[in-house]
Structure formats: C-alpha cells, structure tokens
C-alpha cells in the first residue's frame, strides 16, 4: 500500500522554532518533522472517549514536593471546574 504524504505548513515564532530544533536534536536525531508528528499523535490525536489534559509544570517545582503538590492541587481544581460545566 502506498502512503500519500501531504505537505502542511506551520508558522512559528523564532524562539519556538529553536526550541523544536534543540529538542529534536536530543530526541529524534534532529528531525523536527518527526518530532512534530510524534507530538501531534501523542497529545492531539486521541481516542474518542478521552479528554487530553496537558500540564506544563514549572521547572523550579522539580524536587520541591510540598510546593509541587500545592501547584498540582490548584491545577486539578481548575480542571475539575472546567470539565464540570
């Protein structure tokens, strides 16, 4: 079976482009397109019966169990409120 590849354009600011390049270098041998495909598959293309929730945890909370727990509790309350409406 032949897979047809469609080209899609994506506009990003320079800072985001550089972050993607650096992350791709570390994770996917420098292939930004592959990294973006993996991210889309992982975070956007999901099963129909789930709601994906993505949290960006501030790096300064790493290793700080008490403050991390407080931060997560606040985020959890916000998620519950958003999904309850």
| Residuewise pLDDT in 10s, the chain (85 residues) | 556 677 888 899 999 999 999 989 988 677 888 888 888 887 777 677 777 788 899 999 999 999 999 999 999 999 999 989 8
Whether pTM > 0.85 for this model: the answer is no
Residues 52 and 43: beta-carbon distance below 8 Å: yes
Give the span between the Cα atoms of 24 and 3, in whole angstroms.
Answer: 24
């Amino acid at each position: 079976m032949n897979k047809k590849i469609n080209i899609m354009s994506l506009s990003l600011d320079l800072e985001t482009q550089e972050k993607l390049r650096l992350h791709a270098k570390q994770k996917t041998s420098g292939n930004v397109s592959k990294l973006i495909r993996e991210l889309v598959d992982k975070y956007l293309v999901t099963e129909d019966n789930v709601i994906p929730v993505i949290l960006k945890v501030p790096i300064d909370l790493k290793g700080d169990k008490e403050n991390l727990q407080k931060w997560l509790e606040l985020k959890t309350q916000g998620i519950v409120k958003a999904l309850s409406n």
